[in-house]
Amino acid sequence: MAGEGTGMSIGMSFDVAAVRGQFPILSEIIDGLPVHYLDNGASAQTPLAVIDAVRRYETTGRANVLRGVHRLAERATESYENARAQVASFLGVPTMEIVFTGGCTAAINLVAYSYGALLKPGDRILLSELEHHSNIVPWQLLRSRSGIELDMLPVTTDGRIDLSALPSLLTPKTKLVSLAHVSNVTGALLDVRTVVEAAKSVGAKVMLDGAQRAPHGPLDLPSLGIDFYAFAGHKAYGPNGIGALWGRPELMDAMPPFMGGGSMIGRVTLAETTWAPSPRRFEAGTPPIGPAIGLGAACAWMQALDWAAAHEHEMDLVQRLMDGLQKIDGTQLFGPAGLQNRYPVVSFMLDGVHPHDVAQTLDSFGVAVRAGHHCAQPLMERFDLDGTTRVSMAPYNDNSDIDVLLAGVAHAAKTLR
């Protein structure tokens, strides 16, 4: 697990041009402007390795999986299961512990529904105020279905989950702690060890929303001591419509299905049905086969990258960005001040200019960023923010992306207030 948010500079060289060359969209000229793509936290771009893998399936191996006996079906099943192995290898877990889902949101909803079905009224789930709506709303739905209670960890002024509140919010009734591994607004990395130690002391399970962490290199989930991990394909250089869930097998096998249909059964009679073990139990119907194969290829692509160098490169970009923003009158950063324990997501505000107007101005420079509440309205309410402008980086970003963005922000500061 290279560069787990350490911000350490070890002087490695990183060939960003070689990485960029693998992403066809980055050499597009759109309306006369080069693409400066800094909205990776919303959706990352996809490399040729992924495009080729999906194309290979669609053109040489397209069929349904786990059903047919013909050779295209065999080929499709092999590719699909190979993708599961690639995702598992990326997360450092056994292959058959990976469930393909429709995305990260679908993975969290799966746990909220199926693990949630094991909970009783009065049981508690601990979240935080900086969660993405996809790690809040599924639990609110569970609360209204089953009478569980939700608790919220507060957030520090530098945009981190305030773990000093853990002892007071964890109770013997707490059955699950579900938190963002990396904040989609501030880039802050969660101190997983502290969370796991505290949660285990009251017997609670731990789930991480890995949507913003997975795009930045392989993980070793067993070393984290957690119970569930979810991430999205499209943010991790893979296709849309696919995500993955890892769960401890003893938990997954105790959980009832999320959806019923083909593939997830043991035996069906008109009187009753028995369930297949996980992961099949949670993959009802024909899965998104091409996207799963693409996600497998994306995981293999990420595993082949030198992440120690890539992380250092990403942190150099963060530093360049933060230094540049601070030179523009009226900018305020929202998030950790330094490079320690963070990932390359940077939010800022420009006094007197709404984030959407900053983003629109940046678009006119060919720079893609996200502006607004980032599906984290409780966090915006907590800090009384209209929203932020968010710059989210990937290994293929380079200095010119940051420099053009800074020129755009300076232009917005000059013309819109």
Partner 1 sequence: MSDQIYQERIVALAKAKTGAGKLENPTRTARRDNPLCGDRVIVDVRLDGEGRIAEIGHQVRGCLLCQASASALSAVAVGRDAAGIAELRHDAERALGREPGETHEPFDAFAPVAAHKSRQECVLLPLEALKDALA
C-alpha angle 402-327-315 in degrees, rounded to nearest 5: 40
Nearer to partner 1, 300 or 413 (CB): 413
To partner 1, the closest distance from the beta carbon of 105 in angstroms equals 16
Helix (H) or strand (E) holding 19: helix 16-20
CA nearest to 24, candidates 268, 243, 237: 237
Q: Which residues contact 159 (CB under 8 A, 6 or more apart)?
A: 130, 183, 185, 186, 187, 188, 334, 335, 336, 347
| Amino acid letter, residue 413 | A
To partner 1, the closest distance from the beta carbon of 242 in angstroms equals 24
Q: Which residues contact 256 (CB under 8 A, 6 or more apart)?
A: 114, 117, 275
Nearer to partner 1, 218 or 378 (CB): 378
Nearer to partner 1, 108 or 371 (CB): 371
To partner 1, the closest distance from the beta carbon of 387 in angstroms equals 5
Q: Which residues contact 197 (CB under 8 A, 6 or more apart)?
A: none
| Amino acid letter, residue 307 | W
Nearer to partner 1, 70 or 417 (CB): 417
To partner 1, the closest distance from the beta carbon of 185 in angstroms equals 13
Pairing of strands 388-392, 370-372: antiparallel
The CA–CA distances, whole Å, from 324 to 34, 41, 319 equal 21, 21, 8
Q: Has 299 been annotated as catalytic?
A: no
Which residue ranges make up the site for partner 1 (CB under 8 A)? Answer: 31, 33, 353-357, 360-361, 364-365, 371-373, 377, 380, 386-387, 411, 415-416
DSSP conformation letters of 252-285: HTTSPPSS-STTSEEEE-SS-EEEPPTTGGG--S
To partner 1, the closest distance from the beta carbon of 45 in angstroms equals 20
DSSP 8-state symbol, 353: B
Lookup: tokens for 83:
């993708």
Catalytic residue, chosen from 188, 293, 375, 413, is 375
Contact 23, 396 (CB under 8 A): yes
Burial of 183 (0-12, 13-18, 19+ CB in 10 A): buried
Give the CA dihedral 92, 97, 98, 100, nearest 10 degrees. Answer: 180
Contact 97, 85 (CB under 8 A): no
To partner 1, the closest distance from the beta carbon of 355 in angstroms equals 8
Q: Which residues are catalytic?
A: 375
